[in-house]
Amino acid sequence: MKKAYTLTLPALGAALIAVLAQVTLPIGPVPFTLQNLAIGLIATLFKPRDAIFSIALYLLLGAIGLPVFAGGAGGVHILIGPSAGYLWFDLLYAGITGYLTSKNSSVLHIFIANLLGDSLVFLGGVLGLMFLAGMPFSQAFTVGVLPFVLPDLGKIICISLISQPIFRSLKRINYFA
């Protein structure tokens, strides 16, 4: 049974990310999406390895051309384009947050772990905008972080509030017990 979870959870996680990445609001070179909501939930609920595999599978599916990235985009060019830093640092978000959280984590603990993970994504995003789009730091920060701070805080609050009820509803499944 453990093998089944090892194979299916990353696939379900990648599917959730792909679906929520399609909820987009284009506001510049980096669109607003619900992708980070999915990543935060996966990072909080899954074991770190499975959370990282979910993100890696999502990136692989996008790299081979499936339309899983924001706005139905796909292809390797997305992984080396201006928003690539966000995507690659999602792996760190999943790993760090997954490592720091568990079914016994408090709402505050989940919030802080996701805030740390999301901050790493912002760091990756700014680095990507600087090195791949040629933006100076101030512009990369203004375009790639400031518009997303409040929406991401809202997503992190949502993740923090719904994670414990989800854990309780899944407690009969050995993986989440």
pLDDT at 27: 73
pLDDT at 1: 55
pLDDT at 32: 81
Nearest to 139 by CA among 32, 35, 29: 29
pLDDT for 22-38, tens place per residue?
998 877 666 788 999 99
pLDDT for 76-92, tens place per residue?
999 999 999 999 999 99
pLDDT at 120: 98
- pTM to 2 decimal places: 0.93
pLDDT at 4: 74
pLDDT at 2: 67
pLDDT at 24: 85
Nearest to 18 by CA among 81, 70, 87: 70
pLDDT at 162: 97
Tens digit of pLDDT at every position of the chain (177 positions) = 567 777 899 999 999 999 999 998 877 666 788 999 999 999 999 999 999 999 999 999 999 999 999 889 999 999 999 999 999 999 999 999 999 999 999 999 999 999 999 999 999 999 999 999 999 999 999 999 999 999 999 999 999 999 999 999 999 988 887
